[in-house]
Amino acid sequence: MNKPLRIGVAGLGTVGVGVVKILAERREFLAAASGRSIEIAAVSARDAKKDRGIDLNGVRWETDARALASAPDVDVVVELIGGADGVARELVEMALSNGKHVVTANKALIAQHGVALARVAEQRGVALNYEAAVAGGIPIVKALREGLAANEIASVVGILNGTCNYILTEMEATGRDFAEVLKEAQALGYAEADPTFDVGGIDTAHKLAILASLAFGREVDFDNVQIEGIEKITATDIKFAKEFGYKIKLLGIATRGVDGIAQRVHPALVPDGSPLGAVSGVFNAVAVRGDRVGLLVLEGRGAGEGPTASAVLSDLIDIARGLVMPPFIVPTSHLKAPAKEANGGHDSAYYLRFSAIDRAGSMADITRALAQGSVSIERIVQRGERKEGETGRMPVVFVTHATDEGSMRAALKHLSQIEEVAGKPLVIRIEDGESR
């Protein structure tokens, strides 16, 4: 057998511990599959005394993770610390510059500095692999880089954040509130160190920008992702959506346009029985439309120790087998410059929810405002009971027919001028959930 592949693991949290466990438990099989054994030479984390439930006997502990980048006994640096900058970025830059392969699960780093890092990797002839950075255990990077490479991709649509999908699913199933379920997702190891990255849509945007680059052959363009999170979604919205035959999902959508790429992250109502509507809990799904393959949907666990470590190991096995590929499918010199699609506006039906004063004539004023914006209504629901002679506030929900963004903006402006409408309406797009 060939000489072992020696790795240095930086970060021993949810993912790092998962990687150490798989390496210990599947040692022989991994060696047979890779043609050489994969051995941990050194590790690093903040707290050397923490009991992590793993055996690190005989493994060197580095107090400063950056030491792994120049350690002579480390062939591959496995970066599992996180963060677009700071130690993680320094470690990866140093390791690549020193001619060491890098495997990382860090989507923030790849979304913001991936192309610059890929240039260094290419110059040094080493791998920069990041399967675990997108959609946890789903091998979507490999699918785009290898299996779908012959296709011209038209769109990539995904549920890309396990924490958000877990929260939305649990809120629907149990009626529990947002904050309580978020705490649970954190305890399960799904959430980012700063969970506002999850619920605010930033984590999904990081992943979407990476997928869009792989799918469309352009440099990663995180700055041009339009981002909206799930913070404003309430149990009431989830209930209304259910009643209408929909689920609420946080989607990442990237489409190829005539002059560039449109990238957006936002909550959406998707039909209950559609491929994306059926994805629940911590599961993610990615739907890719290719000109030769048609629609392809991959679904699997998007976060957590096992699925993410599984993806890290697949990258390590590739390196152990001697596979070094351009990190973004084509060499960085072939990637087109980022370009935002000028006409990224997109027709869809909308769900609108707001609170309105329940008195004679209010509904007529509201529907008139929507008509002034040329928005046509498919369904209206007004809930609550009014006693004789009382005026109160009621949640009102409208489902519109498909309309363009400009018309919807105009309708919302008219709506904001009506005194019966309190506060800003919640507006959620209705998407088809990647139906065949």
State the CB neighbour count (10 A cutoff) for residue 173.
12
CB of 192 to ligand HSE, least distance (A): 5
Rounded Cα distance, 373 and 60, in Å: 66
Q: Which amino acid is at 65?
A: A
Token readout for 420 is 């019966």
Q: Is 12 in the site for ligand NAP (CB under 6 A)?
A: yes
Between 302 and 327, whose beta carbon lies closer to ligand HSE? 302
Rounded Cα distance, 152 and 242, in Å: 36
Q: Is 42 in the site for ligand NAP (CB under 6 A)?
A: no
Rounded Cα distance, 214 and 329, in Å: 7
Considering the candidates 107, 207, 247, 249, report the single residue annotated as catalytic: 207
Q: Is 263 in the site for ligand HSE (CB under 6 A)?
A: no
DSSP string, 180-248: HHHHHHHHTT-S-SSTHHHHTTHHHHHHHHHHHHHHHTB---GGG-EE--STT--HHHHHHHHHTTEEE
Instruction: Answer with the entry of ligand HSE, ligand NAP, none that 163 interacts with (C-beta below 5 to 8 A by kind).
Output: ligand HSE
Between 190 and 328, whose beta carbon lies closer to ligand HSE? 190
Whose CB is nearest to ligand HSE?
Answer: 163
Between 198 and 237, whose beta carbon lies closer to ligand HSE? 198
Binding residues among 293-352 for ligand NAP as defined by CB under 6 A: 303-304, 308
Rounded Cα distance, 116 and 85, in Å: 13
Choose which of 139, 162, 201, 290 interacts with ligand HSE (CB under 6 A): 162
Between 205 and 262, whose beta carbon lies closer to ligand NAP? 205
**207: annotated active-site residue:** yes
x/- track of binding to ligand NAP for residues 182-201 (CB under 6 A): -------xx-xx--------
Rounded Cα distance, 436 and 424, in Å: 35
CB 200 within 8 A of CB 231: yes
Q: Is 161 in the site for ligand HSE (CB under 6 A)?
A: yes
Q: Residues 25-33: contacts with CB within 8 Å, 24+ apart?
A: 26/313, 30/313, 30/317, 30/320, 31/1, 33/317
Q: Is 9 in the site for ligand NAP (CB under 6 A)?
A: no
Between 168 and 430, whose beta carbon lies closer to ligand HSE? 168
State the CB neighbour count (10 A cutoff) for residue 390.
9
Rounded Cα distance, 111 and 133, in Å: 9
Q: Collapse the DSSP code of 14 into the 3-class scheme (helix H, G, I; strand E, B; otherwise coil) and give the result.
A: helix
Instruction: Answer with the entry of ligand HSE, ligand NAP, none that 42 interacts with (C-beta below 5 to 8 A by kind).
Output: none
CB of 409 to ligand HSE, least distance (A): 31
What end-to-end distance do the CA atoms of the chain give, in Å?
47
Q: Collapse the DSSP code of 125 into the 3-class scheme (helix H, G, I; strand E, B; otherwise coil) and give the result.
A: coil
Choose which of 1, 3, 29, 47 interacts with ligand NAP (CB under 6 A): 47
Rounded Cα distance, 250 and 232, in Å: 12
Binding residues among 58-97 for ligand NAP as defined by CB under 6 A: 65, 80-82, 87
CB of 431 to ligand NAP, least distance (A): 25
Identify the CA nearest to 15 among candidates 50, 65, 64, 52: 52
Q: Is 50 in the site for ligand NAP (CB under 6 A)?
A: yes
Q: Is 106 in the site for ligand NAP (CB under 6 A)?
A: yes
**Residues contributing to the site for ligand HSE (CB under 6 A):** 136, 161-163, 190-192, 198, 203, 302-303
**Residues contributing to the site for ligand NAP (CB under 6 A):** 10-16, 44-47, 50, 65, 80-82, 87, 105-107, 132, 136, 189-190, 192-193, 303-304, 308
**So which residues are the catalytic ones?**
207
